[in-house]
Structure 1
Amino acid sequence: MDIKLEKLSGHSNNGKIGKVYVKVNDNIKSGDEILDIESNKGNKTITSTASGVVKSVKVQTGDTVKKDDILITVDGELKNTSSKKKSTFNYMGGLMKPKKEEIDMDITVIGAGPGGYVAAIYAAKMGAKVAIIEKEKVGGTCLNWGCIPTKAFVTSAKMYDNLKNINEFGLCAENISADIKKVVSRKNNIVKELTNGIEYLFNNNNVTLYKGNAKVLDKNTVFVKSNNTETTINTKNIILATGSKVSMIPIKGIDSKNVLTSKQILDINKLPKKLTIIGGGVIGMEFAFLFNNFGVDVTVIEYMNDILSNIDNNIVSEITSIAKEKGIKIYTSSKAEEIIDSEDKESIVSFSKNNKLHYITSDKVLLSVGREPNLGEIDLEKLGIERNENKRGIKVNTKMQTNISNIYAIGDVTDKIQLAHVASHQAIVAVENILDKDVDMEYDVIPSAIFTDPEIAIVGLNEKEAKEKGLEISIGQFPFSSNGKALTLGESKGFVKIIKDKETGVILGGSIIGPHATDLIHEIALAIKNKLKDIDLMNTIHAHPTTAESIYESILASTETGAIHN
């Protein structure tokens, strides 16, 4: 029997297949998740209306579908074994009244991403009675389609690249290949383990989880429909943590089946031979390097004058040089104009540069132009909640309060800084203020981690920012090519760069590109946070042989003495 697409979110006419949860010969039962569909009205998970064995899967990730299209075929039977029973069941289902309940909570959190779930667990640990509502999956974008799954991909890709170059380590390996289906499976297992862990923490800390769409009726009332239960939550405080969604840009042909979002590409079942990435920011460049490590021919089209345009110029120059050396083609100051499907099922991306049109052919196109706040079904205007200056996100003060004193907002929905660890810290700040602790959110010392190859990490001021502030600075820089541990790892590219106040020696900022950069950055972050001076780090003994010695050497490089090993 055929299972068809009955409807999409809102009144959308078509949608794009996201994750597919079933494969041929799977045993499924009625109610099991089949696949996800994304449309311009939102995301929807399609469930099976039959039980049996999957005989065929008619769609795959990236396909565009419309109402009544066949999704899968099943050898089995409908939930009620005859069409007559099914009709009666559906009719009765329409008449059945949902179970209604009303509960009281101290805090209701909407969204269970790295901001929301941290807020809920922390508040519960502090003795508050907490409910959390999530319409998709616990863990949000970060855990399910962002930070964690991409790093699983990055690790697999890096290991594959190392195996291709294993002779450099005095080892031999033959018939090296990448099985992207197994890579995806490993990623899924990691995600499942972590999401299960969060739900365990909810249970262990008496956080009540509702899976469904939340509707904020007023500042003290939240309504949620989950399965056949309608719950009205009378709440003293509300934390909005609805996250962000993929930004779309008006490019002709963007609906091509070859165009994937950063979410969809994590569930591909075949490595593309050629990949064009529209957008050379953090997400785009991470995917550029990981797919390059898998052996994919990668091209990046970036609208700005540089990739990763908001970081230290030296770092940008270094990573651009490394990318080109690895064979990644980069076109900056370029605007994607159109995506055209060719006769051989590839796509042609046209882009303008220096007032001329250029064309790139690839079998897949990744749209990676950033993310924007996801307000979901929250009617800010009705509730009287103010938006921020650019009207994209929710306006909050340093306490993470909106203009309505008992409603707080955290994470990407505030459009402040789109980083998971920022959302998590905002969560702590919001909860502590709800619990009558006077705490302010500070944004001066936030480390950023970029998982290119090599890694990049930054914190505090970069050289350009320091000069714009009129600060007298000293700079120390030390290359990993002079670090013993880096050489043993076979990762000698990159450097550590330290910026300090010239007169006082206080550490102001740091940038690292090289092995373990995303781990090393926290020594510099701690120094900035605690206003440590160069002498404080110089008098701290760093273990040998470690990549951390490069931080010590970069501090020495900022002094008249200079680095010892360079």
Structure 2
Amino acid sequence: MSCLEIMPKLGLTMTEGILAKWHKREGDKIEKGEVLFEVETDKLTNEVEAKDSGIVRKILVEEGETVKCLVPVAVIAAENEDISNLLKEAGADEEGAPAEKAEEPKCVDTLEKAGIKNVVVVGGGPGGYIAAIRAAQLGNKVTLIENAELGGTCLNVGCIPTKTLLHSADVYSEIKDSRNLGIDVGEVSINWDNIQKRKKRITKRLVAGVKGLLSYNKVNVIKGFAKMETEKSILVTKKDGGTEKVVFDHAIISTGSLPFLPSIPGIDLEGVIDSTGALNLKSLPETIVIIGGGVIGIEFANLLSLFGKKVTVLEMLPFVLPSMDRQISNLIADKLSKRGVALNTGCKVTKIEREGNRLKVNFTKKAENLSVEAEKVLVVIGRQANIENIGLEEIGIKLEKGFICVDDHMKTNVKNIYAIGDCTGKIMLAHVASEQGVVAAENISGRSVKMDYKTVPCCVYVKPEIASVGLTEERAKEKGIDYKVGVFPMSANGKAMISKDSDGIVKVISDKKTEEILGVHIMAPRATDIIGEAALALRLEATLHEVITTVHPHPTISEAFKEAVLASQKRALNFVN
């Protein structure tokens, strides 16, 4: 007997669920009562059992998809049974087109409350959705306008998918080297399709989480392209061509950024991609040239080299990761070079040409004309504000070098309009955008809060990881600060040796007279996790003494931070001073 399996309604308030995991695949046998799939909501996770026995003939919904309750997700039938009528009933074709997806939740608070402000947020990335939630928490009526997917670049084509791929690359390299850990395994191969599916599942789950948070906080979400009409109104153009006017008291612009493509001849050739294209490659190229040795370029160089691909990096400056401490930059350059990455610094790309089925990148270095060929060319030399055609000039918002001008309260020159995130060009990081969103929302609600950039950490997801907060040694010299340095090598740290990643250091910069900590730079396993301690130390204006007298756990990477602080006073305990 054939049947349609549906997304169950697991509670009175449930309207949709995320199909988190299939326990069976197409073609698998299943018995009535056997677990078929798992469903997640913002409140629970449930296993769903099959209603009948048979063969899983069609799966209509991929893992990670959000589906309305009672919508068909699979067809169970006998092996040779005709299921065309069931597919038609499910709204799918013979190829098994996906079932209807849930519409984005819209919760509109129609009650007029005295003193409540109408706040509109343009852009639903990590700055925008956090600003919307905080504004709603403070009692405002909030509308969020997003033209693409909630979560913005970070969740959809940035931080989260990149780090998901990087984790797979890390695990792959560990398994390949497992014999040195005392574990013998067979042949190891890369299943790129499954890696991409996992990336998609994680992204969709996090995006669904954002939707749930906005719904819970009664934020009205409108899908469409926003354009400022006046200082008090926005016109939203929806994908079906319809429009909606949104009137507001205050607006927060959080439209993010887009990859910047320089005017290099041949940059529009097929096979030349940006970071978004790199995340969605149908297959891994055996060879690739990366133009740009900043954070994004070096992360992709790390990712692809861990997968065993031949990578060439071209960077205009004389060093990679120019924003990081130079000693750290040199260490990671050496690490990547040993892994086979060809790093070319101090060079300028002049042209990209097609040579058969390959791309040829021409560049100059020390007045010498050079070239390198590869299957793909990845261009990651920076990002630009995503503010074109949103009506900023029409209402008089001040721009500088293509970015929105704001003060430390995140205000623009138009008194009721704020801007946050990448479109301001301050520090283009997701966690900065989120904090700026909180600052803007609180100032709109009557508080007086300033954005403090002193304690913003920067993370680079390579192997081993890099994390930094505060002044670099180079910046301290520029500012004329009388400073001292403490360095502790990870080769003397037990946890780093256990992790087989002991090539890095922890470096602490402090004021020579007061011993206040001014900067911390780490290249070590889990550096991005432990940098929070250093950021807190800067926030509290901690001295070397205060870190020294804080007991750190053993064996951990974090104890290397204390040892670097001790080294500042020539009293490291686990390394010769």
For the criterion TM > 0.5, the same-fold answer is: yes
Matching of residue 254 in structure 1 with residue 267 in structure 2: yes
Equivalent in the alignment of 2:48:
none
Out of 344, 349, 371, the position equivalent to 1:336 is: 349
- 1:230-241 aligned at under 5 Å gives the runs 230-241=243-254
Equivalent in the alignment of 2:445:
435
Residue 259 of structure 1, CA deviation: 0.9
Equivalent in the alignment of 2:27:
none
For the residues of structure 2 that align with 1:379 and 1:220, how far apart are their CA atoms?
Answer: 12
- 1:139-178 aligned at under 5 Å gives the runs 139-178=151-190
Q: Is the 8 A contact 1:27 1:54 kept in 2?
A: no
Matching of residue 183 in structure 1 with residue 195 in structure 2: yes
Matching of residue 424 in structure 1 with residue 437 in structure 2: no
- 1:478-517 aligned at under 5 Å gives the runs 478-517=488-527
RMSD (CA atoms) = 2.0
Out of 265, 286, 297, the position equivalent to 1:273 is: 286
Matching of residue 215 in structure 1 with residue 227 in structure 2: yes
Out of 509, 530, 535, the position equivalent to 1:525 is: 535
Residue 543 of structure 1, CA deviation: 0.6
- 1:32-431 aligned at under 5 Å gives the runs 52-53=93-94, 106-227=118-239, 229-343=242-356, 345-388=357-400, 391-431=401-441
Q: Is the 8 A contact 2:408 2:451 kept in 1?
A: yes
Supply the AA of the counterpart residue of 2:425.
D
Q: Secondary structure in 2 aligned to 1:412? A: helix
Q: Secondary structure in 2 aligned to 1:257? A: coil
Residue 478 of structure 1, CA deviation: 0.3
Q: Is the 8 A contact 2:350 2:363 kept in 1?
A: yes
CA separation of 1:400 and 1:329: change in aligned 2, threshold 3 A: same
Residue 564 of structure 1, CA deviation: 3.3
Residue 338 of structure 1, CA deviation: 1.4
Out of 478, 484, 494, the position equivalent to 1:468 is: 478
Supply the AA of the counterpart residue of 1:512.
I
Q: Is the 8 A contact 2:492 2:574 kept in 1?
A: no
Equivalent in the alignment of 1:59:
none
Q: Secondary structure in 1 aligned to 2:200? A: helix
1:253-272: CA deviation from partner (whole Å, max 9, x where unpaired): 11121111100111112111
Residue 227 of structure 1, CA deviation: 5.0
Supply the AA of the counterpart residue of 1:358.
L
Q: Secondary structure in 1 aligned to 2:346? A: coil
Q: Is the 8 A contact 2:524 2:557 kept in 1?
A: no
Residue 53 of structure 1, CA deviation: 4.8
Q: Is the 8 A contact 1:103 1:232 kept in 2?
A: no
For the residues of structure 2 that align with 1:185 and 1:430, how far apart are their CA atoms?
Answer: 36
Q: Secondary structure in 1 aligned to 2:139? A: coil
Q: Secondary structure in 2 aligned to 1:263? A: helix
Residue 54 of structure 1, CA deviation: 5.7
Supply the AA of the counterpart residue of 2:505.
F
Residue 325 of structure 1, CA deviation: 0.7
Q: Is the 8 A contact 2:258 2:385 kept in 1?
A: yes
Q: Is the 8 A contact 1:509 1:528 kept in 2?
A: yes
Supply the AA of the counterpart residue of 1:506.
E
Residue 521 of structure 1, CA deviation: 1.1
Identity between Structure 1 and Structure 2 (%): 39
Q: Secondary structure in 1 aligned to 2:403? A: coil
For the residues of structure 1 that align with 2:369 and 2:239, how far apart are their CA atoms?
Answer: 52
CA separation of 1:481 and 1:374: change in aligned 2, threshold 3 A: same
Supply the AA of the counterpart residue of 1:449.
C
Matching of residue 445 in structure 1 with residue 451 in structure 2: no
For the residues of structure 1 that align with 2:134 and 2:266, how far apart are their CA atoms?
Answer: 45
Residue 125 of structure 1, CA deviation: 1.4
CA separation of 1:126 and 1:448: change in aligned 2, threshold 3 A: same
Q: Is the 8 A contact 2:228 2:392 kept in 1?
A: no
Out of 527, 550, 560, the position equivalent to 1:550 is: 560
Equivalent in the alignment of 2:551:
541
Residue 157 of structure 1, CA deviation: 0.4
Supply the AA of the counterpart residue of 1:193.
R
Q: Which runs of 5+ in 1 are unaligned?
A: 1-24, 33-49, 56-73, 75-101
For the residues of structure 2 that align with 1:312 and 1:53, how far apart are their CA atoms?
Answer: 57
Equivalent in the alignment of 2:87:
none
CA separation of 1:352 and 1:171: change in aligned 2, threshold 3 A: same
CA separation of 1:528 and 1:144: change in aligned 2, threshold 3 A: same
For the residues of structure 2 that align with 1:225 and 1:416, how far apart are their CA atoms?
Answer: 29
1:287-321: CA deviation from partner (whole Å, max 9, x where unpaired): 00010001110000011111111221111111111
For the residues of structure 2 that align with 1:308 and 1:474, how far apart are their CA atoms?
Answer: 23
1:83-105: CA deviation from partner (whole Å, max 9, x where unpaired): xxxxxxxxxxxxxxxxxxx9996
Q: Is the 8 A contact 2:134 2:442 kept in 1?
A: no
Supply the AA of the counterpart residue of 2:502.
S
Give me the TM-score of the superposition, normalised by structure 1: 0.81
Equivalent in the alignment of 1:47:
none
